[in-house]
Structure 1
Amino acid sequence: MPIKRNKRFHAEVATSSLSDIMFFLLLFFLIISTLANPNVIKMTLPKSKNNEKTNKQLISLSVTEEKRFFLDKQEVPFDQLEKELLTKIGDNKEQAVVVRIPYNLQVQDLVDVLQIGVKNNLKFVIATSASK
């Protein structure tokens, strides 16, 4: 008389340890991604759809397509821009500087201007035109 087994063999893969490994990998990549770009220039960007007006006194820094720099409508050479900007701001480090730069200039031209603000811990805002 043949003996029959009541339990049949089922192929099975243990996945309980896989969820732990995935959790640790997720944590690892989240931590590494936050440390990847420590040299990012932080700046507030205004929304072009909104037309916000402020009562604060702002300093205007304009750059022309010929790379001429104007600080409140007064032309300043680039090598003296940092000194003149710090003189205008004085002790009021909370005052914002509005940067108006043409869209067709290179990104490096904008970064050169923004590095002055990062170096001196100033607040820079890039002006945008309203979208239609």
Structure 2
Amino acid sequence: MALKRQNTMMAAFSMASMTDVIFLLLIFFMVTSTFVFPTALEVNLPQSSKQTALKPSTRVYIDKAGMIYATADESEPVAMDMAALLDFLGRQASQPEGADEYIAVYADEEVTYGTLVKVLDLGAQNNLKMVLATKPAPASARPAEDR
């Protein structure tokens, strides 16, 4: 004699508990996303509080138009392009000077970051110490157009 089951198994799956889990995850991610800061923040660059006692003998200036001027030993600044600046910095690197010698870079606040990095990279290629100045150069050492 064959016995038949009274209950038949249903092949369907209940999604009610799955939707509850999905809604809980959604609420969790919505709450935790408020803790994430946006990536486009205003960056205030730090001000230098320490000043060096040494005065730079070589200065490089970049004005807001992107023109580059360079001077050595308190002479009149001369306008030059990147190739001429590379030659100028190469001559400065070949001169026998003290270990504490460095080159001050004065850049207008409107100068693009890329231009400033190119100038600093030229100094790094010549193994020179370059310092980005945070205070204006003395009036006697600035290019004639800035006086």
Query: Under a length normalisation based on structure 1, what TM-score does the superposition of the two structures give?
Result: 0.54
Tell me what 1:123 maps to. Answer: 129
Tell me what 2:67 maps to. Answer: 68
CA contact (8 A) 1:100 1:127 kept: yes
Matches within 5 A, 1:1-132: 48-50=48-50, 52=51, 54-72=53-71, 73-89=77-93, 90-92=95-97, 94=99, 95-129=101-135
CA apart distance, 1:115: 0.8
Q: Identity percentage over the alignment?
A: 21
Q: Deviations over 1:52-100 (max 9, x none)?
A: 3524443110011111111121212222101112223423373200000
> Structure 2: any 5+ residue segments left out of the alignment?
1-45, 72-76, 137-147
Distance (whole Å) between structure 1 residues aligned to residue 120 and residue 64 of structure 2: 17
Secondary structure class of the residue paired with 1:129: coil
**RMSD (Å) for aligned C-alpha atoms:** 2.5
CA contact (8 A) 2:102 2:130 kept: yes
Larger radius of gyration: 2
Tell me what 1:30 maps to. Answer: none
Q: Which one scores higher on RCO, CA 8 angstroms, separation ≥ 6?
A: 1
CA distance 1:66–1:93, shift in 2 (3 Å) = farther
CA distance 1:65–1:56, shift in 2 (3 Å) = closer
CA contact (8 A) 1:99 1:124 kept: yes
Distance (whole Å) between structure 2 residues aligned to residue 103 and residue 78 of structure 1: 20
CA distance 1:86–1:92, shift in 2 (3 Å) = farther
CA contact (8 A) 1:48 1:129 kept: no
Letter in 2 for 1:104: E
Query: Under a length normalisation based on structure 2, what TM-score does the superposition of the two structures give?
Result: 0.49
CA contact (8 A) 2:60 2:105 kept: yes
